Amino acid sequence: MQRALEEHRTCRREIQRLTMENARLAVELERLRGLNDDLRGSAEIWIRLYEAQLVRKSRQAEHDDAVSGGSGSCER
């Protein structure tokens, strides 16, 4: 009987430890999800800025070609 009682206490302590660990991990997961959302938002902004810059450079190159008479010069 004593052995069963000690085993029960050991299991109860392990369950308590695991419950606390699960709670800690849930908080950590929520924090990391927030950071991931922030990072994703920043990445999307940088991608849009990069794409806009590519469009501006392309338009500038087209403009430069038109001004130079379309000579096809590669110097820029």
pTM above 0.75, yes or no: no
* pLDDT tens string 11-67: 999 999 999 999 999 999 999 999 999 999 999 999 999 999 999 999 999 999 999
C-alpha to C-alpha distance for 16 and 10, rounded to whole angstroms: 10
Asked if residue 72 has pLDDT above 60, the reply is no
Query: Three-class SS string for the chain?
Result: CHHHHHHHHHHHHHHHHHHHHHHHHHHHHHHHHHHHHHHHHHHHHHHHHHHHHHHHHHHHHHHHHHHCCCCCCCCC
